[in-house]
Amino acid sequence: MLLEEYFIVDRGVEAALKRARKQGRRPACRRGCSSCCRTHRDIPVYPIELAGIIWYCAEKVEGGEREALKARLSSHAPQRPCPFLAGHACSIHRLRPASCRQFNVFDTPCAPEEDAFHTRRQDVMTPIGEYTERAFAATLPFYGLQDAQDKTKAARHIIHTQAVNLMEYGWKKLAEIMERLDTEKAQGRQKEAGEHPAGENPS
């Protein structure tokens, strides 16, 4: 469901950029350009997206990147840059939320301290509603909304109210979960090594 949501969102961004190009707008976003991940203060994340981020960090981020991520998550505070920003790159790029995917700016790259959403809204891409609707609909079963009756405005409103702000969320808890998993894995390896000392064939 989450991958389906992101697939539709990404197609929607492509369509919106194509439409804007035809109107003479030039996308300013580039790889390595990351002021928005430091300055944009309101980034809604829905429960299904949150679940995806937590799973990805807990299960897929490894090695030095994992240690650095745990440190950033532990020390994150609301006015700090996004904890997933590693240098100038997003460490959860594959599972970054729809809000990040849709935040695109035209013509002039954001200045270091600029939040273009507030300084020049006219240069921020407006997502195409049809794609946003389809992406949202793809996630409804996650919330137990299966039939047409459930897909009412009220039900959607309830989901919207469950969104958290990525920049203000209590990410320390995720760092603790990752640390606990790492400890359990290390203990498991130690136990296995104890049961089968080096050089002894366990088979």
How many residues bind ligand SF4 (CB under 6 A)? The answer is 19
* Among positions 2, 36, 73, 145, the unique one binding ligand SF4 when judged by CB under 6 A: 36
| 38 or 145: CB nearest ligand SF4 | 38
Place of tokens 């997003």: 90
Q: Smaller CB distance to ligand SF4: residue 98 or 138?
A: 98
Q: Which is nearer to ligand SF4, 58 or 155 (CB)?
A: 58
Q: In whole angstroms, how far apart are CA 1 and each of 46, 104, 111?
A: 13, 24, 36
Give counts: helices (H), strands (E), the chain: 9, 4
C-alpha closest to that of 125 among 110, 106, 108, 112: 106
Amino acid at residue number 60: K
- Indicate which single residue of 2, 73, 82, 175 sits in contact with ligand SF4 (rule: CB under 6 A): 82
**158 CB contacts (<8 Å, ≥6 apart)?**
143
Tokens of 113: 């301290």
Cβ closer to ligand SF4: 136 or 169? 169
Backbone angles phi, psi at 90, to 5 degrees: -85, 120
128 within 8 A of 16, measured Cβ to Cβ = yes
Q: Does 29 bind ligand SF4 (CB under 6 A)?
A: yes
Closest CA to 13 of 21, 23, 2: 21
Is there binding between residue 17 and ligand SF4 (CB under 6 A)? no
CB of 119 to ligand SF4, least distance (A): 11
**Residue 90 sits in the site that holds ligand SF4 (CB under 6 A):** yes
Sites for ligand SF4 among residues 112-151 (CB under 6 A): 116
Is 46 a binder of ligand SF4 (CB under 6 A)? no
Per CB under 6 A, which region of 77-85, 134-142, 174-182, 195-203 contacts ligand SF4? 77-85
- What percent of the chain is helix, strand and coil (3-state, nearest 5)? 55, 5, 35
- Counting contacts by CB under 6 A, is residue 105 touching ligand SF4? yes
Work out which of 10, 20, 56, 109 binds ligand SF4, going by CB under 6 A: 109
